[in-house]
Structure 1
Amino acid sequence: MAEEKYNLKNPSVKRILQEFREAQSNPSDDFMSLPLEENIFEWQFAIRGPTGTEFDGGIYHGRIQLPAEYPFKPPSFMLLTPNGRFETQTKICLSISNHHPEHWQPSWSVRTALVALIAFMPSSPNGALGSLDYKKEERRVLAVKSREAAPRFGTPDRQKLIDEIHQCMLSKAPSVPQQNTAQGSEEHPNNSEGEAQDAGAVAAAEKLPNPAVSEIQEEGERVIKEAREAPVNVSPSPYRNQCIYRGSC
């Protein structure tokens, strides 16, 4: 990391570096995220499809852009992997994204947002910007296909990071579960059920299904406390070795 490019006293820079340390010291099997080496306000991520849904076993890549005012303004998100729930390379409208700054809380983090995004995957789209409403069997096909290769996006350096995140996630991901015909023919929930699923989601974190609720609340409290109290002292370890460095793959 070229730290000389950034003012380490800047609150946004300090917070982002703190979140980077948190991602390395407390990794999750459900997601992986890293800032670009040349721009810490832009992150690449991959999430694992939520268990017990048509996304189960899938690996879904995306891009996060953090505003200069982060964490006081929300990030924007786009997915890069075809998934049947969100359009690719389109900023998606969620209550954790820049489309709804009124819902964002500074105590939330990149990690918090990824936990919420996973929870949103099986919810009803209800016509939201950037949403898709594929049938469950189509989404299962995409979940299988998502494991084959990482999406192609951006510069060679960015693509190298995407590919390495993919290999790290793939090494930890379970296989896509087999679905019987009855499950495959299930319809999407009706409008009233979809609205109940999606009501408030992360706009009020308590609306998220467990265990996302407690994780978001605990994560938000811990990260904001550390961002305020911990000194900034990041060693320049290369992002490219992160998967091996963590010992998690």
Structure 2
Amino acid sequence: MSSPPSRVGQSGAVKRILQEIREMRQAGSGDFVAAPLDDNMFDWHFTIRGPRDTEFEGGIYHGRIVLPSDYPFKPPDLMLLTPSGRFETGKKICLSISGFHPEFWQPSWSIRTVLVALIAFLPTDPQGAIGSLEYSKEERRAFAAQSTSWKCPVCGVVNADHFSTQQAPNLEQRPIPDTERQVADQHEPAAEQQRASVAEHVAPAEQTPRQEESPRTQAPTTAHQASSASGSDVLWSAITLTLFISILAILIKKIVV
């Protein structure tokens, strides 16, 4: 287990790490899980699923991400602890998103970015990179089958317990990200489906009151029309009565004369 880094200049790193912890809890993924150790938030343990249609399909791999004290301005170190046939266990992995290549790292990237990229890198050609292994596909499939029962001596969790009912990630839908935004974009279709589903359920509820309000809306108009008609009848009655009285008065006057 790594020792906590110096406290000097850690305030920004701690704030960023706490933010990522919240985001991990609020927006989980079916492809990976990750969390810091209880006694050191700079030391994270993660578990990823092997991508579909590769020799890693069905495999579940556990590993570590060690964040520098000035994270996110410098990249993390990462390593796999579960045998995979792709990376040496317990040895730092040389990737463009790791501490081996700080020149490529961008502060906008996150632990989520690193894990998505690591899944995409699994089936790629090692090309002799540090920490890589060149096992055959058959050997890697054997490692994948054995990986589900692997148990982390630090976390105490068996790999299979992390993903008991979820499907493996599809690399066609999970390209290697260049920025944090690309990771967010990958979740946008699901969010759109959720919003559409909500809209489908809300729309009928909004239309029902409007249909019920239609008779009520028409009622004042009908009453107004009835009131107008009643007023007209009264007016004509008054005019008729006035004419009758006038004629009667003329007749009486003539009789008297």
Q: TM exceeds 0.5?
A: yes
Structure 2 match to 1:97? 98
Task: For residue 21 of structure 1, report the CA deviation from its aligned partner.
Answer: 0.5
- Quote the offset at 1:209 in angstroms: 6.6
Flag the structure with higher helix content: 2
CA distance in 1, matches of 2:166, 2:177: 23
Counterpart of 1:68 in structure 2 is 69
TM-score, structure 2 normalization: 0.63
Aligned residues: 178
Native 8 Å contact 2:108 2:179 kept in 1: no
Paired residues for 1:108-187 under 5 Å: 108-152=109-153, 158-160=154-156, 163=157, 166-174=159-167
Query: SS of the counterpart of 1:128?
Result: coil
1:168, CA displacement in angstroms? Answer: 3.7
Deviant stretches of 4+, over 4 Å: 213-217, 219-222
Q: Which residue of 2 aligns with 1:187?
A: none
Distance 2:16 2:127 in 1: 34
Contact 1:31 1:48 in 2 (8 A): yes
Aligned counterparts of 1:82 and 1:138: Cα–Cα separation in 2: 11
**Partner residue in 2 for 1:25:** 26
Give the distance between the partners of 2:105 and 2:175, measured in 1 at CA.
Answer: 16
Higher relative contact order (CA 8 A, sep 6+): 1
Secondary structure (helix, strand or coil) at the match of 2:133 reads coil
2:181 is aligned, of 208, 211, 218, to 218
In 2, Cα distance between the equivalents of 1:36 and 1:53? 31
Shift of the alpha carbon at 1:140? 0.3
1:198 is aligned to none
Which structure has the bigger radius of gyration? 2
CA contact (8 A) 2:83 2:147 kept: yes
Which letter maps to 1:43? W
Unaligned stretches of 5+ residues in structure 2: 1-6, 186-257
Partner of 1:107: 108
Q: Which string of whole-angstrom CA distances, capped at 9 and with x for unpartnered residues, describes residues 40-80 of structure 1? A: 00100000001110000100000010000100000000100
Q: CA RMSD in A?
A: 2.7
**Percent sequence identity over matched residues?**
53
Residues 72/209 of structure 1: CA separation in 2 closer, same or farther (3 Å cut): farther
